[in-house]
Structure 1
Amino acid sequence: MKQRSLAVLALGASLALAACTQTQSREVAANDASGYPARLPLTGVSLPVEAAPAQPEGGKWQLAGETLSFAVPGGATLLAMNCTHAPDGTAQLHLTRMTRAEDGAKALFALIGNGRIARLPLDATRAGEQGEWQGTMPAADPRLEVLRGGNRIEATLPGGGTLLLPASLEPGRLLAACRASDRA
């Protein structure tokens, strides 16, 4: 009986949320002279961009020096990875995702592939539609195993869209070389 009550409660909450519209999310409720709630439009509030950026067609992995990037040939880089070292010699993988960003934003960059799921912290380092997100983590971090295996990887940044990274052994090779360069 308790499970049925919970199911009914969940259904009711779902229906209540479904009844909300985009217009309602841009309004605030206030009481009119009779004390009855009334909707008032919010002014001076910037509205969020509705759709995440779409991935351009034809993106490929490209290795240039020690940086592995994903981009449409001749186009702007969408994702870049390279190996760096901390002052103590610890090998680190540095990730840069180019997509829109808000000033001071932080997010978890979700990677799904090779039988694994990882959420890697990134910080917005340049705001705007041509924004940039960056994060650095020790190359030995087990979350980075998502890069090994050669299968397709789905990479999602909230509000920045999803990249469908084609199957490649290059991300795993970069990670292995970075781990091997650890001097700590």
Structure 2
Amino acid sequence: MIRSLPRTAAMAAIVLAASACSSNSEPEGAPNEPVTKFSLPHHDQAELDVERKITEAMPGKIDPPDATWRETKSGAIYGEPDRKPLIEMACNDGMVDVTRNVASDDGAKALFAFVGYRGILRLKVENDGAAWHGSLRSDDPLWIAVTGGPFYATVAGGGKVISPASSIASSVITGCKPEADATIKGAAVDTDETA
């Protein structure tokens, strides 16, 4: 019986060691003691100012519930009332000019993608330091991405703008015709006239 005592003590030590290593061990302190609170390190003011400028450069949320398409003298805008528009469209002599009001490097180039149920339009755009701008002929069949129902539009650094189907946006595109005797920019050259 005395010989089994060290063996029993050894087994008890193993069981205690195993329970101490268990991942389900209780935290130290009383069971009803509140969790210790801590605070994250405070960012310096310069870093907060940079974050604020980035936030202010984005004109509103990308999918604001009160955003609508509204007619303007030259076309249409999409966004919240009394805020800088998220997207602007205008007809200019048979071309549809598009603006996405998001700042970037002056002279930066990108593709502004319109993704709809019936197609995708990738519009070449350039930033002037304040917004992305691009143009495309109004009769380009890829405008079906916008005229064919709801769509979203995305460009570098500008997030994704989600737009419902809009007859106002569609009418800017479908109603954009060149004036009489005007030449659409980017129109194909008629080889018969140049011969």
Report what 1:135 is aligned to.
134
Find the aligned partners of 2:147 and 2:179 in 1 and give their Cα distance: 17
The one-character-per-residue Cα deviations of 1:64-83 (angstroms, maximum 9, x if unpaired) are: 22320001011111110011
User: How far apart are 1:106 and its partner, in Å?
Assistant: 0.4
Instruction: Looking at secondary structure, tell me which structure has more helix per residue.
Output: 2
Q: Does 1:121 align with 2:131?
A: no
Where does residue 154 of structure 1 map in the other structure?
152
Is this contact kept in 1: 2:90–2:172, CA < 8 A?
yes
Specify the SS of the correspondent of 1:145.
helix
Counterpart of 1:124, as a letter, is: N
Report how many residues are paired. Answer: 127
2: CA distance, partners of 1:145 / 1:181: 23
In 2, the alpha carbon distance for the partners of 1:145 and 1:97 equals: 19
What displacement does 1:180 show?
Answer: 6.9
Number of the residue aligned with 1:165? 163
Q: Check whether the contact 1:61–1:69 (CA below 8 A) recurs between aligned residues.
A: yes
Report sequence identity in percent. Answer: 27
TM-score by length of structure 2 reads 0.58
Unaligned runs of 5+ in 1: 1-48, 86-90
- The one-letter code matched in structure 2 to 1:94 is D
Root-mean-square deviation (Å):
2.5
> Does the C-alpha gap of structure 1 residues 181 and 112 become closer, same or farther in structure 2, counting only changes over 3 Å?
farther
- TM-score, length-scaled by structure 1: 0.61
1:56, distance to aligned residue in structure 2 (A): 5.7
Q: Does 1:60 align with 2:68?
A: yes
Select the structure of larger CA radius of gyration: 2
User: Are residue 109 (structure 1) and residue 100 (structure 2) matched?
Assistant: no
After TM superposition, where is structure 1 displaced by more than 3 Å over at least 4 residues in a row? 49-54, 179-184
How far 1:100 sits from its partner (Å)? 2.4
**What CA distance in whole angstroms lies between the structure 2 residues aligned with 1:111 and 1:73?**
23
- Aligned to 2:169, what secondary structure does the other structure show? helix
2:83 maps to 1:75: yes
Query: SS of the counterpart of 2:86?
Result: strand
Structure 1, residues 93-123: CA drift from partner, whole Å, max 9, x if none?
1111101211210000010114111100010
CA apart distance, 1:174: 1.4
After superposition, give the CA deviation of every residue in 1:136-177 in whole Å (9 maximum; x if it has no partner). Answer: 12112222222212x211000021111001221222211111
Structure 1: how far apart are the matches of 2:150 and 2:167?
A: 10
Amino acid at match of 2:165: A
Indicate the SS of the match to 1:178.
coil
